Structure 1
Amino acid sequence: MTRKGSSYTISILGVFGALIILQAYIPMIGYIRIFPAWPAISTIHLTVILGGVLLGVRGGAGLGLLWGTISLIKAYTSATDPMTLLLFQNPVIAIVPRVMVGIVAALVFNYIAKNVRTGTGATVKMVAAGVAGALTNTGLVIGFTWLFFASRAAQVVPGADASNLGWLLIAALAINAMAEAAMAAVVTPILGTVLLQVQHRHRKA
């Protein structure tokens, strides 16, 4: 990577990192709460997905790591619902799914039809990257929750047991998953197209 490219990457990481921090700590910006006792719908995944699209696997993973670390800290210092308090104090549940959001989005956009970065093809790839990134987060949270809490499932969902915890979590988090995937499918190509054009002009300058 050239010095110019490195400076651009650091600048974008700085801007997106600051945005993630603001989203995490300003009420109803990074987390939209519908039900008081249930996990909020996130918008932070949008920033991580866009980072993966623009900056590749390392950039996406780095932004995901920042998001996951903040999730872990907030679970210990300012959890707003019982499930967040219970689940996201586990570093694996808090961090790994967030890191994978950026990695999956980067892989989908940058490694499928690598040379297609404009036009309809790029739009389709960004929609796919957004949906895949969003569902990766929800899917891994559910998977890790089952892995760590199967033996005490009733702590997570009253009346649950090891055999049905995963299905109950899928049903319970379906609204969050669909909302986050829909947002990613819409926002990623809209903002991503503009940001890729800026990136292209910067590289040509």
Structure 2
Amino acid sequence: MKRGKVLKRIAVYCGANKGNNPVYQEQAEKLGKWMVSQGYGLVYGGGNVGLMGIIADMVLQEGGEVIGVMPTFLVDREIAHPSLTELIVVKDMHERKKKMMDEADCYLALPGGPGTLEEISEAISWARVGEHAHPCVLLNPNGYYDLLADFFNHMVTEGFLSQEDRENILITESFDTIEEFIRNYQAMKVRSYKE
């Protein structure tokens, strides 16, 4: 047990907005409840707004651990969640992303904007070059990530992503599928480049 009472943590990337469809808020709440029921702690951006605030509130309400990681310039805007288990303040966004990865055993994206997409894409990229050996998941309520799934498939067709690596990126709305994927996950093989 490397982390006290919590055996495992999931880094969740998500929007600082709630989105226009209530299903996104509902999924953030369900994810928070599910995480605590499965013994997962939450690592996230530390905010008190949007889907970020919703999932943090739910994990805390259910008695789970919540670690927020936030750069100083955002803390100074007073959007940090006031009730976290721990708030880790870092100097910038680059340090935030690295710290979130270091603190977690899985990386999961809820719906969000360009920042969310960038964060989960970086987690996927880092897995492919051997910087971590953890699963990457996109929770897909309302088909939010369907176009991205199609694009990943297109990458395979066009020779920019291997089928094996594609299968190591889960896009689903099923919590049972997520748990099975995490349980059976095998790290991506580190890429090698040969002419």
Q: TM-score, normalised by structure 1?
A: 0.26
Bigger fraction of residues in strand:
2
Higher gyration radius (CA): 1
Bigger fraction of residues in helix:
1
Q: TM-score, normalised by structure 2?
A: 0.27
